[in-house]
Amino acid sequence: MLTISKSLSAGQGRTYHSREFTSEKQNYWSRDQQAHNEWQGKLAQEWGLDGEVGSEHFARLSEGQHPESGL
């Protein structure tokens, strides 16, 4: 089932990310013991992003900054 709602603010997005992806108890996406929070796609490749998406990376990205450099 698909639920469509209003877009999240940067702060709401960070809260969602920390609740759903970084908490082992709440992590819906890794209940099958597989991590699903890795950089993927053309932009990740162009920016040299590889491996796990950390909460600090996500916070920077949600503010329109490069996830690693913060610029």
- Tell me what pLDDT residue 23 has: 59
Nearest-angstrom CA–CA distance, 10 and 17? 10
- Tell me what pLDDT residue 43 has: 86
C-alpha distance from residue 65 to each of 3, 19, 57, 59 (Å): 28, 21, 9, 9
Neighbours of 35 (CB within 10 A): 12
Q: Do 53 and 38 meet the contact criterion of CB atoms below 8 Å apart?
A: yes
Instruction: Return the closest-CA partner of residue 20 out of 5, 30, 32.
Output: 30
- Tell me what pLDDT residue 42 has: 92
Which of the residues in the chain have pLDDT under 70?
A: 1-2, 20-36
